[in-house]
Chain A
Amino acid sequence: MPMDEEAVAAMYRDHGAALRRFARGAVGSEQQAEDIVQEAIIRVWKLAPETTVGLRAYLYRTVRNLIVDEYRHQARRPRVVDSLDDGFDRAYDAERIDVLLGRVVMEEALLRLTAEHRQALIALHYRRLSVAEAAEELGVPVGTVKSRCFYALKALRSTLEEMGVEP
């Protein structure tokens, strides 16, 4: 992997948006999130990895560490507990940042599924619908809902593996 502007541009292209979503959930501003993402990419570039295998996981980890460190630095200052516009409290400590990381990684994985697979997981897992209820709502046969659930989990597993997460 050439460690130059092209490599950095590729890292940013492939991982920038996801990393920013993660960072944005934990820091105060878009600009701060952007700065952290850029710093993480620069760090990884400086290490000149010879392979891109596991790069996403490593970038997440670097962003996570930068955020945790940021909070450690802020720890002596008075805390103002505020919420993001999506109603979630901002992550303030390492533990919550890890929860956030898990969430962002899974959201990213869900986004990589086809709309049909994602729909099936949302219906059964998140909305707790039965196969029969989901079939009725989606207007497809029961067998179709079952096979979509099966292949959705298959796809989710391989997406997570691609992203460097071992389920």
Chain B
Amino acid sequence: MSHEEMRLSLGAYILGGLDAEETRAVEAHLATCAECRAEAEGFEMLPALLDAVPVSRAMALAPAEAPVEAVAPPVLLAKVRARRRVNRLRWGAAAAAVAAAALVGGVALGPVVNPAGPIAVPAPAVTQPAPVARYTLSSADGVQVDVALVRKNWGTELELSCHGMLGEGVYSVWVSNADGGWERAASWSSSAYQGTAVLTGATAQQPSAIRGIQIRDEAQHALASLTIG
């Protein structure tokens, strides 16, 4: 068989569909043809990846239609509009914020490893600037908040990781400027989290203008306070 015929047989070869004689012929050709070897190597991982789909489900896909496009629900777009309006004061949603946690200190997303065959989902093409400063605030009763300040065009983003919240309550993080005025940068309800709350706060001030950070409880009492500079 010619090189071109051999090349076109590589798919069936990788999928194990050739008979013994054809298989031998392809293997003999692979031993001598670098181009076909490279082609075959490009296919090598695919059977293991295909094994991630159980046979019964794969068979059900045979007559399937192309993936459908979904129309974004109005409620989602409304959320976006709402958040855009308050872009000076953003904080994480009440749902647990693992993705945000991965972003504290930059994007740190490990590969997804499938035991049936490795699928590497690459880190996204999202670059997050490194924090310019990190602080830890602790209250007398054990609330601890790790704060990383990230410089943004519009001001400062606060990456917050909050542990040790006792009971249910609404907590907030405040930042002060050089004039001594305090501004709320984030707030969250501890009942939405177990153990650790990870969220994003924001202030229009540049990191260098921030003079203090406070954690406050529902009654606006400062639980912990930090002076900078």
Residue B28 lies at the interface, judged by CB distance under 8 Å to chain A: no
On whether the beta carbons of A125 and B50 are closer than 8 Å, the reply is yes
B68 CB within 8 Å of chain A: yes
Pairwise interchain contact A103-B72, C-beta atoms closer than 8 A: no
Q: Interface centre among B43, B93, B124, B127, by most A CB within 10 Å?
A: B124
Q: B122 to A166, Cβ gap below 8 A?
A: yes
Taking the nearest CB of chain A, how far is it from the CB of B123, in angstroms?
Answer: 8
Asked whether A134 is an interface residue with its Cβ less than 8 Å from the other chain, the reply is yes
A-B contact count (CB 8 A): 236
Complex contact B70–A98 (CB within 8 A): no
Q: Does A92 contact B (CB under 8 A)?
A: no
Residues of chain A contacted by B109 (CB below 8 angstroms): 58, 61
Q: How distant is B7 from chain A, measured CB to nearest CB, in Å?
A: 7
Pair A17/B68 contact, Cβ less than 8 Å? yes
Contact: B18 with A111, CB < 8 Å? no
Q: Is the CB of A124 within 8 A of B72?
A: no
- Bound state CA distance, A156 and B67, in angstroms? 15
A interface residues, tally (CB under 8 Å): 94
Of the residues A95, A108, A147, contact of B67 by C-beta under 8 Å: A108
Establish whether residues A105 and B126, one from each chain, have CB atoms under 8 Å apart when the complex forms: no
Tell me the bound Cα distance from A103 to B55 in angstroms.
11
List 13 A-B residue pairs with CB atoms under 8 Å apart, sorted by A's residue number. Answer: A13-B71, A43-B99, A47-B126, A58-B126, A69-B98, A103-B57, A108-B67, A111-B66, A119-B62, A121-B58, A122-B61, A124-B17, A166-B120
A interface residues with partner B (beta carbon < 8 Å):
4-5, 8-9, 11-14, 16-18, 20, 34-36, 38-47, 49-51, 53-55, 57-58, 60-62, 64-66, 68-70, 72-73, 86-88, 95, 98-99, 101-103, 105-108, 110-112, 115, 118-122, 124-132, 134, 143, 145-154, 156-157, 160, 164-167
Interface residues of B (CB under 8 A from A): 7-12, 14-19, 22, 42-43, 45-47, 49-50, 52-59, 61-64, 66-73, 75-77, 79-81, 83-84, 90, 93, 95-100, 102-103, 109, 112-117, 119-128, 194, 200
Closest 3 CB pairs of A and B: A149-B11, A58-B124, A16-B70
